[in-house]
Structure 1
Amino acid sequence: MSGWAIRGELILNCNCTVFCPCVVSLGKHPPTEGYCQTWGGIRIDEGHYQGEDLSGLNIGLLIEIPGLMARGNWKAAVFIDDRASDKAFDGLVKIFSGQARGTTGLFKVLVSEFLGAERAPVSYTNEGKTRRLVVGKAIKGEVVPVPGANPDEDIVISNTEYWMGRDITVATATQGRVRAFGRVWDFDGRSAEICQIDWSGPAAEQAA
């Protein structure tokens, strides 16, 4: 089995005071605070990298963007589930640094400083509509969909060209605590997103 693929769910919480404008503007509109600070979590339901199974693993992310998303100069770090095998760890580092190309290849272009990749206990749990991410002592987050007129139906921005996925659920953070890589962030009550992901990349000989 060549190439790589990840299917699952992603959550993000950033410092924007309202729903992140990047989803619709695709980075042409600046973040509400002029810069972006984001933590994220990924639950891999099914996945592989060059034949190595990634299913059941979880990922934590840390991203800083100094201005417009499309202008680059990002800083990023990844926390990889400490249950991952050495081969899975190496594959996930390549995926989330952009080296594996495909869906996340934009990281190689936009990230000017890769802060690092660390093994950590990463827990991603769902309780009703609530999603929780705990990454050791680095990230403790909880996001919930913003309620709509029909409480049983989430507010979803559909058919977008957003790189993460076409359909983004509008959410907010009930907790957004980061203590990692010298960052001390608390984004409770700030913008959040929930997205079903289906990412993939080319075979190794093509990605080299």
Structure 2
Amino acid sequence: MALDTVGTVPWTIKGELILNCNCTVFCPCVVSLGKHPPTEGYCQAWAGIRIDEGQYGDEDLSGLNVGLFLEIPGNMGRGNWKAAAFIDDRASEAAYEGLVNIFSGAARGTTGLFSVLVSEFLGAERSPVHFETVGKERRLMVGKKIQGSVVPVEGKDGKDIVVTNTEYWMGPDITVATATKGKVRAFGRVWDFDGRSAEICQIDWHGPK
């Protein structure tokens, strides 16, 4: 696809996102919309996206998974992020290219903020990206680079705690979760976020507007 068409191609992604970060309690960014600093003063996170339905132009993205690596030095809204993407090795060349455009922010739309907030895109690479749901547990495995598992936090009535009707960029309803496993071995980082903050979000993203 010609470079001059990037940012004009219509795209959609519907599915689920899970995220685990180094915050010791539920991520302050969700309700502060990035204005409040992470609990540790900086953010280190991994995320997984399961694409149930999706397309980039004429290319079908349905059934593919994506892993993300994020490092933010302070308040989310101030930018200077470092980010990388692990693209499902089952993706066709066109799907791979489309997903790189989406998750680098170049495709604009919902993820267009990445092009503003990410100062260093560490790159994208094909990897075996497995996203599994077992009961309420969600698991993401990207080879030996990301091995994560998150579970919802139950409320008094046994139902999941959900922060609803937010303006958070991922989606309006964020399920409060915790990580039973959160290990990252990538880009010279070695992280262990077992027991730390996590999120689950049903996503309905699109672009370029």
Normalising to structure 2: TM-score of the pair? 0.95
Distance 1:165 1:182 in 2: 31
Aligned partner of 2:171 among 144, 162, 165 = 165
Aligned partner of 1:190 among 196, 201, 204 = 196
Match of 1:176 in 2: 182
The amino acid of 1:75's aligned partner reads K
Distance 1:126 1:67 in 2: 32
Q: Within 5 Å, give how 1:1-208 maps onto structure 2.
A: 3-151=10-158, 153-202=159-208
Quote the offset at 1:202 in angstroms. Answer: 2.3
- Cα deviation, 1:97-140, whole Å, max 9, x if unaligned, reads 00000000000000000001010000001011000000011100
Superposition misfits of 4+ residues, deviation over 6 angstroms? none
Q: Secondary structure at the match of 2:199?
A: strand
The amino acid of 1:199's aligned partner reads W
User: Superposition RMSD on alpha carbons, in Å?
Assistant: 0.8
Distance 2:92 2:10 in 1: 18
Report how many residues are paired.
201
Q: Secondary structure at the match of 1:148?
A: coil
Q: Which ranges of structure 2 fall in alignment gaps of 5 or more residues?
A: 1-8
The amino acid of 1:94's aligned partner reads N
Identity of aligned residues (%): 78
Normalising to structure 1: TM-score of the pair? 0.96
The amino acid of 2:163's aligned partner reads I
